[in-house]
A = this chain, B = another copy of it.
Amino acid sequence: MGVMAALSDPIRVGLVRVLADGQERGWGELRAPVAKSTLSHHLKVLRDAGLTRTRQEGTRCFVVLRREELQARYPGLLPAVLAAAEDEDVGHQVAVSPSLQESSL
Contact = CB atoms under 8 A, between A and B. Distances in A.
B2 A8 contact: yes
| Interface residue SS majority, chain A | helix
B90 A84 contact: no
Contact of A76 (B73, B77, B88): B77
Please tell me how many copies of the chain the complex holds. 2
Interface in A64-105: 73-77, 79-81, 83-84, 87-88, 90
Given A4-B7, A4-B81, A74-B83, 15 more contacts: A2-B8, A2-B84, A2-B90, A3-B84, A4-B4, A4-B8, A4-B13, A4-B84, A73-B83, A73-B84, A74-B84, A75-B76, A76-B77, A77-B80, A80-B80
Interface of A: 2-5, 7-8, 13, 73-77, 79-81, 83-84, 87-88, 90
Contacts of A83: 73-75, 77
